[in-house]
Amino acid sequence: YDISNISGFESVGSMVVFEDGRPKRNDYRKFKIKTVQGPNDYASMEEVLTRRIQRYLDGDEKFAPLPDLLLIDGGQEHARVAEQVLAETGLDVPVLGMVKDDRHRTRALITARGQELGIQQTPALFALIGTVQEEVHRFAIAYHHQKHTRSAKRSQLDGIPGVGEARKKRLLQHFGTVTAVKNATLEQLSAVVPEAAARAVYGKFHG
User: Residue 164: its pLDDT value, please?
Assistant: 87
% of the chain at pLDDT higher than 90:
64
pLDDT digit string, tens, across residues 25-61: 999 999 988 888 778 889 999 999 999 999 999 999 9
User: Residue 129: its pLDDT value, please?
Assistant: 95
Confidence of residue 192 (pLDDT cuts 50, 70, 90): very high
Confidence of residue 144 (pLDDT cuts 50, 70, 90): low
- Residue 193 in this model has a pLDDT that exceeds 60: yes
Residue 117, class by beta-carbon neighbours within 10 Å (0-12 exposed, 13-18 middle, 19+ buried)? Answer: exposed
Cα–Cα–Cα angle for 57, 62, 67, rounded to 5 degrees:
70
User: Residue 67: its pLDDT value, please?
Assistant: 96
User: Residue 150: its pLDDT value, please?
Assistant: 63
d(CA 197, CA 151): 22
pLDDT digit string, tens, across residues 5-35: 765 566 788 999 999 999 999 999 999 888 8
User: Residue 152: its pLDDT value, please?
Assistant: 59
